[in-house]
Chain A
Amino acid sequence: MSLTTMIVKMSEGLGKTCSIFFLTLLFALPLGLIVALLRMSKNKIVSGITRVCISILRGTPLMLQLLAVTYGPFYLFGVSVSRNKLIPVVIAFSINYAAYFAEIYRGGIESMPVGQYEAAEVLGYSKFQCFIRIILPQVIKRILPSITNEVVTLVKDTSMAFTVSYQEMFTIGKQIANSQTSFVPFIVAGVFYFVFNAVVDFVMGRIEKKLNYYK
């Protein structure tokens, strides 16, 4: 198989790689914020349960979580494994990344000086208005570098989808590597990820710059 054919075949999986990537961000970023708020809840039971869930999600391999979400329903309830693996893959990724994002949000929220809340309170902002308008925008600026780190990791983690044979770029590359007994597909995959992350770095850098209008 020629190099061009390999690249073309693997490119066909790039759409799916991007689907995992963007859908995970779409769900995990807001979900992470909700999880962070639950984690900081004054209700000890709510925050306790959330803390345990977060530590399980962060303490076990993503690969295992992918297998659990994809095949768990079959083993537990006899539900047939859906043909479209994108759904379980995105669910597993979103939940896993939400756990990481939650801890980042929490760190950001807890780093906010109490004076910001008090100034807003005296001016009559409701708790919700204060959070949305005063706290969250500043938190986002503070946590952006950590979020960028996670997003870069997410790009590489999409390759985990091979464990459930979801036909994204890396899974295809691995299949070609097996059938052709060639190492080349892995090099191609490496280049793809590298370029993808260069784009991610560029975009996140632009966002960070945009938020640099204040200190």
Chain B
Amino acid sequence: MDKLLEINHCRKRFGSTEVLTDLTLSVEESQVLSIIGPSGSGKSTLLRCATLLETMDGGDLIYMGRYAARGTSEGSVYAPPAELKKIKSMFGLVFQNFNLFPHYSVLKNICEAPVLVQKRDKAEVEAEAMDLLKQMGLEDKYNAYPCQLSGGQQQRVSIARALAMNPGILFFDEPTSALDPELTGEILRVIRQLAEKKMTMVIVTHEMNFARDVSDYVVFMNGGVIVEQGDPRDVIDHPTQERTIQFLRRLQDQ
């Protein structure tokens, strides 16, 4: 299978504290990978490094064989801006708190980047956006503004916005954590649909049942390293590492 994403020996420091330590991870085409772990373990930082929102202090970042960053003895050396721009079009990111553009309608939120950044035909992009909104069950909201939508609807729009760029891989950073519990279901359903369509996804989540159902592979992170990884039924239901067992037990107690 083709590797869509490879992260090799990633290191990331904030000041003097190392947040990611020699972390290696790869994602294959059509794979759904879940990242679980306690708060502060570096999950967001990992996604932010992968999506070029943070620069790594060491290690490689490779999308479809193309180096966004190459690890050297002096740290990670990033590709020139033109190459990074191309690589940026290979992934999308869905934020915990949506980050929709409040002054744009739903349709403009989704369509502006494909037209402006990818220079695609506006009418074509809009038709595609309406299809995406239909998939999200929001076709009647295309003219609404984000402030007129519920959290769950906003998150679905932000997923549509990311999908409109036709990314090869889609990252989710706790996509349901900012939502009321009764709204998480609608987001998880959308992600499940995407998994059925063989969308490659990396999902940071605290929803263990969801992670077990939807993902092919689970990574448990703690203290900036991967402690345990593998098939979700192994990692979530039969963890072998002490830290994983503790984490899952504490999650169940809540």
Query: Is A122 close to B, CB under 8 A?
Result: yes
Give chain A residues whose Cβ lies under 8 Å from the Cβ of B89: 124
| Bound form: Cα–Cα A120–B101 in Å | 9
> Secondary structure of the A side of the interface?
helix
Give chain B residues whose Cβ lies under 8 Å from the Cβ of A123: 113, 117, 161, 165
Given contacts A122-B51, A141-B103, contact A133 B93 (CB under 8 A): no
B209 to chain A minimum Cβ distance, whole angstroms, is: 28
Given contacts A115-B97, A122-B93, contact A214 B103 (CB under 8 A): yes
B217-235 interface mask toward A, CB cutoff 8 Å, 1 = contact, 0 = none?
0000000000000000000
A124-142 interface mask toward B, CB cutoff 8 Å, 1 = contact, 0 = none?
1100010001100110010
A212 to chain B minimum Cβ distance, whole angstroms, is: 11
Give chain A residues whose Cβ lies under 8 Å from the Cβ of B103: 137-138, 141, 214
A94-128 interface mask toward B, CB cutoff 8 Å, 1 = contact, 0 = none?
00000000000000000001011011111111000
Contact A119 B102 (CB under 8 A): no
> Secondary structure of the B side of the interface?
loop
A141-170 interface mask toward B, CB cutoff 8 Å, 1 = contact, 0 = none?
100000000000000000000000000000
Closest partner residue, chain B, to A211 (CB atom): B103
- Number of chain A residues close to chain B: CB under 8 A: 20
Query: Is B118 close to A, CB under 8 A?
Result: yes
Give chain A residues whose Cβ lies under 8 Å from the Cβ of B161: 123
B112 to chain A minimum Cβ distance, whole angstroms, is: 7
| Bound form: Cα–Cα A122–B92 in Å | 7
Give chain B residues whose Cβ lies under 8 Å from the Cβ of A141: 103
Contact B113 A138 (CB under 8 A): no
Query: Is B53 close to A, CB under 8 A?
Result: yes
B101 in complex: contacting residue of A122, A129, A134, CB < 8 Å: A134
Give chain A residues whose Cβ lies under 8 Å from the Cβ of B165: 123-124
**For window 87-104 of chain B, which residues contact chain A by CB distance below 8 Å?**
88-89, 91-93, 95, 97, 99-103
Query: Is B123 close to A, CB under 8 A?
Result: no
Contact B113 A125 (CB under 8 A): yes
Contact A115 B95 (CB under 8 A): yes
| Bound form: Cα–Cα A121–B55 in Å | 14
Contact B102 A118 (CB under 8 A): no
Query: Is A215 close to B, CB under 8 A?
Result: yes
**For window 102-159 of chain B, which residues contact chain A by CB distance below 8 Å?**
102-103, 112-113, 116-118, 145-147
Query: Is A213 close to B, CB under 8 A?
Result: yes
Give chain B residues whose Cβ lies under 8 Å from the Cβ of A122: 51-53, 88, 91-93
Give chain A residues whose Cβ lies under 8 Å from the Cβ of B100: 119
| Bound form: Cα–Cα A204–B223 in Å | 53
Closest partner residue, chain B, to A138 (CB atom): B103
| Bound form: Cα–Cα A138–B53 in Å | 22
Contact A124 B99 (CB under 8 A): no
A38-58 interface mask toward B, CB cutoff 8 Å, 1 = contact, 0 = none?
000000000000000000000
